[in-house]
Amino acid sequence: MKVIKKVSELRKIAFKHLINKDEIGLVPTMGALHEGHVSLISKSVKNDDVTIVSIFVNPAQFAPGEDYLKYPRPLEKDLSICRKNHVDYVFVPSAAEMFPDGHKTFVEVKSLQDILCGAFRKNHFRGVATVVAKLFNISFACRAYLGMKDFQQLRIIEKMSKELNFRTKITPCPIVREKNGLALSSRNSYLTAEEKKSAAQIYQALKKAKEEFKTKSASAVLKNVRDKIASIAASKIDYAEILDYSSLLPVSENAKKAAIVVAVWIGNTRLIDNAVLSK
């Protein structure tokens, strides 16, 4: 496994693999790797000739006052996980390497970036889309592996990749959860033991929604979910919505397939989760 810090070096190596007709898989991360990331890495190692993991805590997707400075950065542990799971290259650029002085170019996916998390985190998805676009260009990836926990992010990157004609195809991967149902996230480390118990109830509400959606209207299901989450200790809802699975537009009352997406504060930690609904 080779650790690379420079854009120019990764481009040179990736281009050689491209010329050799090697298929390149990319797993873009912000580090603090957990079993959810490992599941993405495993899929790339299985499907591709070469696997690249990027580890970059992206300042462009954090608003002032968010947790950029305290975001966990256990690099040596992350590198050990990558090595153990047969990653070929780990890309760990600095902020200055990805955003040199004078950087003024950003990628935006209008409409999709302005709802849900985008309504609460100004310029968040602009930062995400810009860095992912740069990673696609740098790595020459055939496939990028993204978890479905960040459902809005997944849809934004899919749309960006298609509309900007990237060669990179998006491979969505299922959410990996703790035994109590809590979706794995690097931010779970912020939770106290008691808060973790509270956070696990978010998934219980989503599971119930999956059952209720088979027989009830979308509005009735959504009301029950909101009521359940609002009753969780130390919780505050940023949003809870049932939307079209693909477009994230509002669904009809009798939609056959949808996604329920939520963002909930448990204490001082903001958690997102979702579930696919079908009749």
CATH of the domain at 152: 3.40.50.620
33-54 CB burial, b ≥16 within 10 A, e <16? bbebbbbbbbbbbeebebbbbb
Q: What are phi and psi of 93, to 5 degrees?
A: -75, 160
Would you say residue 179 lies in a domain? no
d(CA 87, CA 46) in angstroms, rounded, equals 11
In this prediction, residue 254 carries a pLDDT of: 80
Measured distance CA(81)–CA(228) in Å, rounded:
37
Position 84 in a domain: yes
Strand partners, 250: 243
Q: For residue 36, what is the DSSP state?
A: H
Catalytic position from the list 37, 86, 103, 124: 37
Domain span holding position 241: 186-278
Domain assignment present for 110: yes
User: Same structural domain for residues 98 and 233?
Assistant: no
Domain boundary residue among 138, 173, 208? 173
Question: 200 and 157 in one domain?
Answer: no
Query: What CATH number is associated with residue 202?
Result: 3.30.1300.10
Q: Which positions ≥6 away from 160 have C-beta within 8 Å?
A: 107, 109, 129, 132, 133, 166
Instruction: Please report, in tens digits, the pLDDT of each residue of the chain (279 residues total).
Output: 999 999 999 999 999 999 999 999 999 999 999 999 999 999 999 999 999 999 999 999 999 989 999 999 999 999 999 999 999 999 999 999 999 999 999 999 999 999 999 999 999 999 999 999 999 999 999 999 999 999 999 999 999 999 999 999 999 999 999 999 999 999 999 999 999 999 999 999 999 999 999 999 999 999 999 999 999 999 999 999 999 999 999 998 888 899 999 999 999 999 999 999 999
Sheet holding 257-266, edge to edge: 235-243, 257-266, 269-278
Contact by Cβ (8 Å): 7, 140? no
Judge if 108 and 137 occupy the same domain. Answer: yes
* Active site annotation includes 124: no
205 and 261 together in one domain: yes
Confidence (pLDDT) at 142: 98
Q: Beta strands of 160-234 (E only): which ranges?
A: 169-173
- pLDDT of 253 reads 83
Please tell me whether residues 97 and 153 are part of one structural domain: yes
- Same domain for 84 and 152, yes or no, is yes
Q: Are residues 13 and 72 in the same domain?
A: yes
In a domain, 256, yes or no: yes
> In this structure, are 163 and 243 located in the same domain?
no
| Inter-residue contact 55 to 90 (CB < 8 Å) | yes
Please tell me whether residues 147 and 194 are part of one structural domain. no
Domain total for the chain? 2
Domain shared by 95 and 169, yes or no: yes
pTM for this model (two decimals): 0.95
268 and 154 housed in the same domain: no
